[in-house]
């Protein structure tokens, strides 16, 4: 249980990140809800506060080192520490390789991968001193198996796995664990918008036969963020219905 712990969740204004932030808050964590959009971050934080939780919304582009420093300074000022970091912010800029624009490569690598480096660097400084930390990087099944039209996204998500391994080794001596969660196809606005036939084709690739739910990802993150996962580090927890094993 993350009760009393301080969690920073990036890209938490909506989608999977918002659900993770809400669940950590419901379980008693103090939550810093980070998003590039202040209103959505503040709304999620306000929802937590309305149900007796402690949270605040922080606006930041997590690819920007100055803004990232500001988030962690605010977290420490307000809550005194950071115990849990969930690097969840992510974007897609899909195109076939031969048409992919350099700016779309750079944007995806910056938001999906560099952000995790920047946030982890700040979090590690705080966590190392206290000899406690849980860092969870949200990767993707396509970082493990590739996907047509997503060279930038797949490279960023595979990069997060390498970052997880490296940081896990480096921070273990400080009792800071670093793990990745790799979701498969999850029911979100993006997948709900797909035609039924495409959804059926996706489901047919999944041994468990259905797309995952946001809650499936949240449950995995909450486990890795909790006290019962202290002997687990440098792992990639796949939440994909068996589509890649």
Q: What are the residue numbers of the active site?
A: 153
Please tell me whether residue 159 binds ligand NAP under the rule CB under 6 A.
no
> What DSSP letter does each residue of 72-114 carry, written as one string?
HHHHHHHHS---EEEE-------B-GGG--HHHHHHHHIIIII
Instruction: Please tell me whether residue 185 binds ligand NAP under the rule CB under 6 A.
Output: yes
Neighbouring C-beta atoms of residue 242, cutoff 10 Å: 12
Is position 222 an interface residue for ligand NAP (rule: CB under 6 A)? no
Q: Is 25 an interacting residue with respect to ligand NAP (CB under 6 A)?
A: no
- Contact between 188 and ligand NAP by CB under 6 A: the answer reads yes
67-86 binders of ligand NAP (CB under 6 A): none
Note whether 17 binds ligand NAP by CB under 6 A. Answer: yes
- β-strand 176-183 against 236-239: which pairing, if any? parallel
Q: Could you give the 3-state DSSP secondary structure of residue 8? A: strand
Sole window of 74-82, 89-97, 124-132, 196-204 interacting with ligand NAP (rule: CB under 6 A): 89-97
Cα 47 to chain centroid distance, Å, stands at 20
The answer to whether 154 contacts ligand NAP (rule: CB under 6 A) is: no
Give the residue with the Cβ less far from ligand NAP, 12 or 176: 12
User: Closest approach of Cβ 9 to ligand NAP, in Å?
Assistant: 10
Provide the residue count of the chain. Answer: 245
Query: Which residues, 6 or more positions from 84, have their beta carbon under 8 angstroms from its beta carbon?
Result: 2, 5, 6, 7, 8, 24, 29, 133, 134, 135, 136, 225
What is the nearest approach in angstroms of ligand NAP to the Cβ of residue 170? 22
Distance CA(131)–CA(126), nearest Å, equals: 9
- List interacting residues with ligand NAP (CB under 6 A): 10-11, 13-17, 35-37, 40, 60-63, 88-91, 111, 138, 140, 183, 185-186, 188, 190-191
């Amino acid at each position: 249980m993350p009760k009393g712990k301080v969690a920073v969740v990036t890209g938490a204004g909506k989608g999977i990140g918002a659900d993770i932030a809400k669940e950590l808050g419901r379980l008693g964590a103090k939550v810093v809800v980070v998003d590039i959009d202040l209103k959505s971050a503040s709304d999620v934080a306000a929802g937590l506060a309305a149900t007796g939780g402690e949270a605040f919304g922080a606006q930041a582009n997590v690819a920007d080192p100055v803004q990232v420093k500001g988030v962690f300074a605010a977290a420490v000022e307000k809550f005194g520490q950071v115990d849990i970091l969930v690097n969840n912010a992510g974007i897609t800029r899909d195109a076939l390789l031969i048409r992919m624009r350099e700016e779309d490569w750079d944007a995806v690598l910056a938001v999906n991968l560099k952000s995790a480096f920047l946030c982890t660097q700040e979090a590690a400084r705080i966590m190392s001193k206290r000899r406690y930390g849980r860092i969870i990087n949200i990767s993707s099944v396509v970082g493990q198996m590739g996907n047509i039209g997503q060279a930038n996204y797949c490279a960023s998500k595979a990069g997060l796995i390498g970052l997880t391994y490296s940081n896990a080794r480096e921070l273990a001596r400080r009792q800071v664990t670093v793990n990745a969660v790799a979701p498969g196809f999850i029911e979100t606005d993006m997948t709900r918008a797909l035609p039924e036939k495409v959804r059926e084709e996706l489901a047919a690739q999944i041994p468990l036969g259905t797309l995952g739910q946001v809650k499936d990802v949240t449950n995995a993150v909450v486990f890795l963020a909790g006290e019962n996962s202290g002997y687990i580090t440098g792992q990639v927890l796949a939440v994909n219905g068996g589509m890649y094993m």
